[in-house]
């Protein structure tokens, strides 16, 4: 069989799915906790799930600095879980949900690839179980409540020029980035500037993913800062008294979604916050539910170790109160060569020299993981054009530097292609480790930012714009100094300049602006312009999409 002729969708369609009840049984989910959505998806009523044999251990999959070539982090995450499954371990995989809007722009999904996928990919990439729609609804209900409050007399004296809360849609729609609402005269609301973000950028998404239960969800929602009065006093959802209504809208969205991998490993796919202006991990509830049900939970975080893994550990794991037991760093020959200066079009040619140049990027990611007191495991994710000399170079580098490394071939072989990686991870899990966070919450905001920039990015200095400096003072006055930091930085470089590949040193990072996400519970530090509402290309993928007469999606991938 020539794999090169099979698309991810072909492979997915050739797979025989097990009924979701069977997957639930395998995962130890009681029948009364299972709420099926069709034959192959379900939501889990977390109130009916009992902890089994103590809490499972968490294996985080992160990566070197991503490149446009793609490193296959989700694929390795799924494949590693399938490998544990083949080794008869009690394992679950916990992933993020993909956004719907971007699929109309550029072909592609986010459910792994080859023989390491979660299924049914068609449903997961479309409306799935409605979570993102519920988040969109809650976000926009809050906007409607804000505008209605102002229209009805503005008792809270909200300054309509200082409303931070934006509307959202799960859509790539540049025309909605900057809008004026409330036009048409005195019966049609109060005119003001507004804008739409894509739903994954909603603070409600971040909150849903950081909530420990529905009560906590409501409490976090109540703390959202929607804007300020003319005298700069923060106005919260609690002031508007709508946290109950907003939490009610999310009562089903908060339940983790159960699906399966091609090899029948139970998978929880739940939540999908941005990895730049938010923390980029699946929900705490999914991870914790998986920990209740299994001995090992394989999960991932967005982008490289500088962004996703740092936030996973310092925001998500801290909030949930668990420690990761192992961290896998996904690397590819292709990405290492790009970090060594090779252009995307020339990646098929053997180039050990470029590898030597680019390996510094992986080196820094490996070093980063060690800062948390954890021993990293590099997953060298094989691609068809890798040459033996190239693979041997990376393997030798690992040997020389005492770095655990395993070649993974999960795209082509599924779990079987990840057995070596699984065995390396098992050794790390068993050995004693001294986990620690990168920073303590009590440190001032500037200190926390400086720690991330110097320790993780390898930078020399942090500069704050005058706006950011002013905000630092305001945030301290508001009592927001204790929040963790969520850095918004390009994923392609350790610096704030996407073109600086490899492992630059001695650079300066400029914090242009801060955003207070007092509901989610973090302060976003923006190092550049971050796009929170994508646009469509000239020829959107939608032009090739269709549905068959019996209701199957065409052209989704």
- Known binding residues for ATP: 67-74
Q: How far is the CB of 12 from its own copies (least distance, A)?
A: 16
Give the binding range for its own copies (CB under 8 A) out of 84-92, 316-324, 468-476, 530-538: 530-538
Quick one: which of 293, 247, 287 has its CA closest to 271? 287
Q: How many residues does the chain have?
A: 557
96 is catalytic: yes
Q: What DSSP string describes 20-46?
A: HHHHHHHHT--GGGEEEETTTEEEE-G
Does residue 24 touch its own copies according to CB under 8 A?
Answer: no
Does residue 432 touch its own copies according to CB under 8 A?
Answer: no
Q: How far is the CB of 36 from its own copies (least distance, A)?
A: 5
Q: How far is the CB of 107 from its own copies (least distance, A)?
A: 12
User: In sequence order, which residues have a C-beta less than 8 Å from that of residue 238 and are 6 or more positions away?
Assistant: 222, 223
Of the residues 75, 136, 137, 289, only one is catalytic, namely 75
Does residue 551 touch its own copies according to CB under 8 A?
Answer: yes
User: Which of residues 11, 15, 33, 43 is near its own copies by CB under 8 A?
Assistant: 43
d(CA 195, CA 104): 21
480 is catalytic: no
Does residue 130 touch its own copies according to CB under 8 A?
Answer: yes
Does residue 187 touch its own copies according to CB under 8 A?
Answer: yes
Within its chain, how far is the Cα of 319 from the centroid? Answer: 16
Does residue 286 touch its own copies according to CB under 8 A?
Answer: no
Does residue 513 touch its own copies according to CB under 8 A?
Answer: no
Within 67-106, the residues that bind its own copies by CB under 8 A are 100, 104
d(CA 244, CA 217): 10
Contact call for residues 327 and 78 (beta carbons, < 8 A): no
Q: How far is the CB of 146 from its own copies (least distance, A)?
A: 9
Mask for 205-234, x = binds its own copies (CB under 8 A)? --------xxx--x----------------
Does residue 245 touch its own copies according to CB under 8 A?
Answer: yes
Q: How far is the CB of 315 from its own copies (least distance, A)?
A: 24
Q: What DSSP string describes 459-502?
A: -SEEEE-HHHHHHHHHHHHTT-TTSPEEEE--SS-SSSSTT--S
Give the binding range for its own copies (CB under 8 A) out of 247-255, 275-283, 311-319, 392-400: 247-255
Output 508 or 546, the one with its CB closest to its own copies.
Answer: 546
75 is catalytic: yes
Quick one: which of 74, 76, 54, 51 has its CA closest to 425? 76
Contact call for residues 533 and 198 (beta carbons, < 8 A): yes
303 is catalytic: yes
Give the binding range for its own copies (CB under 8 A) out of 3-11, 170-178, 395-403, 464-472: 170-178
107 is catalytic: yes
Output 192 or 437, the one with its CB closest to its own copies.
Answer: 192
Q: What DSSP string describes 330-378?
A: EE-HHHHHHHTT--GGGTTS--HHHHHHHHHHHHHHHHHHHTTT--EEE
Of the residues 41, 73, 218, 364, only one is catalytic, namely 73
SS3 199: helix
Q: What DSSP string describes 87-142?
A: TT--EEEEEPPPPSGGGGTSS--SSEETTEEEE-HHHHHTTTTSHHHHHHHHHHHH
Of the residues 303, 397, 522, 557, only one is catalytic, namely 303
Output 179 or 352, the one with its CB closest to its own copies.
Answer: 179
322 is catalytic: no
Q: Which residue has the tokens 């976003």?
A: 524
Output 99 or 116, the one with its CB closest to its own copies.
Answer: 99
Q: How far is the CB of 140 from its own copies (least distance, A)?
A: 5
User: Which of residues 18, 177, 223, 318 is near its own copies by CB under 8 A?
Assistant: 177
Give the binding range for its own copies (CB under 8 A) out of 222-230, 242-250, 419-427, 509-517: 242-250
Q: DSSP label at 549?
A: T
Strand partners, 297: 58, 92
Give the binding range for its own copies (CB under 8 A) out of 56-64, 110-118, 422-430, 545-553: 545-553
441-450 — which CB contacts under 8 Å span 24+ positions?
A: 441/318, 441/482, 441/483, 441/484, 442/482, 444/476, 444/481, 445/472, 445/475, 445/476, 445/480, 445/481, 445/483, 445/485, 445/514, 445/523, 446/472, 448/484, 448/485, 449/485, 449/487, 449/511, 449/525
d(CA 44, CA 38): 14
User: Which of residues 25, 159, 164, 173 is near its own copies by CB under 8 A?
Assistant: 173
Q: How far is the CB of 43 from its own copies (least distance, A)?
A: 7
Output 34 or 91, the one with its CB closest to its own copies.
Answer: 34
Output 251 or 467, the one with its CB closest to its own copies.
Answer: 251
Total residues contacting its own copies by CB under 8 A comes to: 81
Does residue 249 touch its own copies according to CB under 8 A?
Answer: yes
Of the residues 322, 383, 393, 557, only one is catalytic, namely 383
User: Which of residues 7, 10, 19, 38 is near its own copies by CB under 8 A?
Assistant: 38
Within 137-166, the residues that bind its own copies by CB under 8 A are 137, 140-141, 143-145, 147-148, 151-153
Annotated binding-site positions: 67-74
Residue 498 main-chain phi, psi, to 5 deg: -60, -20
Which of the residues are catalytic?
73, 75, 96, 107, 275, 303, 383, 411
């Amino acid at each position: 069989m020539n794999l090169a002729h099979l698309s991810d969708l072909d492979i997915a369609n050739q797979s025989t799915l097990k009924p979701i009840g069977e997957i639930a049984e395998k995962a130890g989910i009681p029948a009364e906790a299972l709420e099926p959505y069709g034959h192959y998806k379900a939501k889990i009523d977390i109130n009916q799930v009992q902890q089994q044999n103590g809490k499972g251990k968490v294996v985080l999959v992160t990566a070197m600095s991503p490149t446009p070539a793609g490193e296959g982090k989700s694929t390795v995450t799924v494949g590693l879980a399938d490998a544990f499954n083949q080794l008869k371990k009690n394992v679950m995989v916990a992933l993020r949900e993909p956004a719907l809007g971007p699929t109309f722009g550029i072909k592609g999904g986010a459910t792994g690839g080859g023989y390491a996928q979660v299924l049914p990919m068609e449903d997961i990439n479309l409306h799935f179980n409605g979570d993102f729609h519920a988040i969109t609804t809650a976000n926009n209900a809050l906007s409607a409540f804000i505008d209605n409050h102002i229209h009805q007399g503005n008792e809270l004296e909200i300054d309509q020029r200082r409303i931070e809360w934006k509307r959202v849609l799960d859509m790539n729609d540049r025309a909605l980035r900057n809008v004026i609402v409330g036009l048409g005269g005195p019966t049609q609301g109060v005119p003001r500037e507004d804008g739409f973000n894509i739903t994954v950028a909603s603070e409600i998404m971040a909150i849903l993913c950081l909530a420990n239960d529905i009560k906590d969800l409501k409490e976090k929602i109540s703390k959202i800062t929607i804007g300020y009065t003319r005298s700069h006093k923060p106005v919260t959802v609690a002031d508007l008294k709508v946290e109950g209504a907003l939490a009610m809208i999310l009562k089903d969205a908060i339940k983790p979604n159960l699906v399966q991998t091609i090899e029948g490993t139970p998978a929880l796919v739940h939540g999908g916050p941005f990895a730049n202006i938010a923390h980029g991990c699946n929900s705490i509830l999914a991870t914790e539910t998986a920990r209740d049900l299994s001995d090992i939970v394989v999960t991932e975080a967005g982008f490289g170790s500088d962004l996703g893994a740092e936030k996973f550990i310092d925001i998500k794991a801290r909030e949930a109160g668990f420690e990761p037991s192992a961290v896998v760093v996904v690397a590819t020959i292709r990405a290492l060569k790009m970090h060594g200066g090779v252009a995307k079009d020339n990646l098929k040619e053997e180039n050990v020299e470029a590898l030597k140049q680019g390996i510094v990027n992986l080196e820094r990611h490996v070093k980063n993981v060690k800062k948390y007191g954890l021993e990293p495991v590099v997953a060298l994710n094989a691609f068809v054009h890798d040459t033996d000399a190239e693979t041997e170079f990376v393997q030798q580098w690992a040997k020389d530097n005492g770095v655990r490394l395993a070649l993974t071939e999960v795209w082509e072989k599924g779990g079987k292609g990840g057995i070596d990686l699984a065995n390396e991870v098992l050794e790390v899990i068993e050995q004693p480790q001294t986990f620690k966070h990168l920073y303590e919450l009590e440190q001032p905001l500037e200190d926390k930012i400086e720690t991330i920039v110097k320790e993780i990015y390898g930078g020399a200095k942090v500069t704050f714009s005058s706006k950011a400096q002013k905000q630092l003072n305001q945030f301290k006055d508001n009592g927001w100094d204790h929040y963790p930091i969520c850095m918004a930085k390009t994923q392609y470089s350790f610096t704030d300049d996407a073109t600086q590949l490899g492992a630059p040193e001695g650079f300066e990072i400029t914090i242009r602006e801060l955003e207070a996400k007092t509901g989610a519970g973090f302060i976003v530090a923006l190092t550049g312009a971050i796009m929170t509402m994508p646009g469509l290309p000239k020829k959107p993928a939608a032009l090739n999409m269709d549905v068959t007469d019996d209701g199957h999606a065409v052209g989704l991938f």
